[in-house]
Structure 1
Amino acid sequence: MLAHEGGYVNHPRDPGGPTNKGVTQRVYDAYRRGKGLGTKSVQQIANQEVADIYDRQYWDAVKGDDLPAGIDYVVFDGAVNSGPKQSIIWLQRALGSAYGGRIDGTMGLTTITAVNSVEDLDALVDAICDQRMNFLRHLSTFRVFGGGWTARVSEVRAIGKAWASSNAPRVANFYDGASAKAFAEDANEAPTTAPADVATGAGVGGGVVAGTLQSLQDQLMPFSYASQWIGKVIVVLVIVSAILAIGGLGYRWWASRKAKRLAEAVG
């Protein structure tokens, strides 16, 4: 964990802000206030404080002691990077049919029982990491930190599998950007359906106008020139209206599908 988190960083695009060894300034301030101590820069955080924060706010939050070897580490790492609730959501989704409870990000007895019923822990590690990567790719900050996050999750996957199989894990490395916090609040915005509504409305409206012109053309039949001119306008209106209506419906389908995928990925 400490290898992946590195030391003090304060990247302007990191939503966690000033962070040292994976502990943000906000978390450190709350920790010290809880102990009746004055706040100070997270750059000065002591190793024992880091261990205490990890133990209380992340390991205990995901009930690491109750999880199988390997799974405990994978869920713990996700909790430090994206918060305990988000990491537990990835676990609950990764469990699939083995978990019959709500996807609520709470490590209750139902979740723990489901985890301990899984025989193929390597497959569960893969499923958790796949859920995590899908989440990360839907963040607006992925363009900046995606390379580091991807490398980190790749190592977490390998280390988790090694522990799950009682093998010696590979050595963890630090990757630039890997320690940046990945929060659901930084998810990409869902596409709006407003353009679809405008296009569909315009298409319907054009069809109404075409119908009105058709009625006018019937009345002007004796005047062949005017009737022919209106006929050409009707054809153009019908074609344009159809294109707008179909395009609007198609865009609405695409926007709704993308919004649904975003919601599923972010949790």
Structure 2
Amino acid sequence: MKANYNKALKRVLVYEGGYSNHPDDTGGPTNQGIIQRVYDGYRKSKGQPTRSVRLLTDAERNEIYRRQYADKIRFDALPAGVDFAVFDAAVNSGPSQSTKWLQRAVGVTADGDLGEATLAAVKAHPDHDALIADMCARRLGMMQNLRNWGTFGDGWSKRVANVVLTGQAWAMGSVGPQPIAVHEEGGDAKAVVSDVALPSVSAEAGVQTGLGGGAGVTAVQTAQAQLQPLVGTNKTIDLIFTLLTVATVVIAVGGAAWALYAGRQRRKAERAWSGEAVGDLSPLLSQARAAA
């Protein structure tokens, strides 16, 4: 085990705090960063009955952190500072997503598997300070696209900024800032890719329900066809026919606008999923340095 693993774990535990079960945290009941589902899986793997994650022991916690997170992101093989940044992201958002951010930052295929090609690219990177910042900016970029960002954004932002400053300090062989407790601000809530915000319905559904032509336009056109023979015989009928014509245009334009909006939202979500979305760390780091 690499010497700085224990101090990395201690810092992560400060971020995670104790037990929580916030209704907007899709991780559900969580104790010291371990969610109930992970704890259940761990207990079953040991041939033990499941129980509340509130009863998590320190020994269980430490083994889960090592097996579920540190080993999966190859903590011991990563350079100092980079190891901490990838480890904390893995705890908060899962090892695969954490690895994708790292892979995007070093320019290799973002498949979520930290293999030899990724490891070689990390070690060959000329500036680990910049690498840590790049990876964490991508982490922030995904968080900012989560539907629960409004609830947990402040805590997540402070956590990521502290991780950047700590990782960069460790990369240079210095101590770095003290870890900050973000539990009360939601910085311990799981930030998972499945919570990326998407339009409530797809563009295709909008079209089919009348937002963009489909059934809505067809119904209006049917009514127009029925009135067509009577046009010119009655002012009221003429007015209704005109209004139906306008309605056809409005529905079609509305559907096209919805399709454009939904398409943009989906592309935005895909960038968040893939690790392409990049957040602006500058104001967060300035605040973190000022508070240190």
State the TM bucket, normalised to the shorter chain: 0.7 to 0.9
User: What amino acid is aligned across from residue 10 of structure 1 in structure 2?
Assistant: N
User: What amino acid is aligned across from residue 182 of structure 1 in structure 2?
Assistant: A
Match of 2:212 among 200, 220, 224: 200
Task: Give the Cα separation in 1 of the matches to 2:102 and 2:250.
Answer: 45
> For the pair shown, which has the larger CA radius of gyration, 1 or 2?
1
The Cα of 1:141 is off from its aligned counterpart by 2.5
Give the ranges of 4+ consecutive aligned residues of structure 1 lying more than 4 Å apart after TM superposition. 202-214, 225-240
The Cα of 1:171 is off from its aligned counterpart by 0.4
Two-structure CA RMSD over aligned residues (Å)? 2.9
Partner of 1:108: 115
The Cα of 1:237 is off from its aligned counterpart by 5.7
The Cα of 1:174 is off from its aligned counterpart by 0.9
Match of 2:92 among 73, 81, 90: 81
Task: Give the Cα separation in 2 of the matches to 1:228 and 1:23.
Answer: 71
Which consecutive residues of structure 1, in runs of 5 or more, have no partner in the other structure?
A: none
Partner of 1:49: 60
Which consecutive residues of structure 2, in runs of 5 or more, have no partner in the other structure?
A: 1-11, 275-292
Partner of 1:29: 40
Partner of 2:159: 152
Partner of 2:269: 262
In percent, how many aligned pairs have the same letter? 38
Q: 1:117 to 1:204 in 2, by over 3 A?
A: farther
Q: Does the aligned pair in 1 maintain the 2:196–2:272 contact within 8 Å?
A: no
The Cα of 1:247 is off from its aligned counterpart by 3.2
TM-score by length of 1: 0.80
Q: 1:41 to 1:229 in 2, by over 3 A?
A: closer
TM-score by length of 2: 0.74
User: What amino acid is aligned across from residue 42 of structure 1 in structure 2?
Assistant: V
User: CA offsets per residue over residues 107-141 of structure 1, 9 Å max, x none?
Assistant: 11122122222112222222211221222222223
Partner of 2:278: none
User: The residue matched to 2:188 in structure 1 has which SS?
Assistant: coil
Task: Give the Cα separation in 2 of the matches to 1:73 and 1:241.
Answer: 58
Is 1:70 the equivalent of 2:81? yes
Mapping of residues 1-267 of structure 1, within 5 Å: 1-95=12-106, 98-99=107-108, 101=109, 103-175=110-182, 176=184, 177-192=186-201, 193=203, 194-197=205-208, 198-201=210-213, 202=216, 240-267=247-274
User: CA offsets per residue over residues 142-167 of structure 1, 9 Å max, x none?
Assistant: 23222211211111121122222323
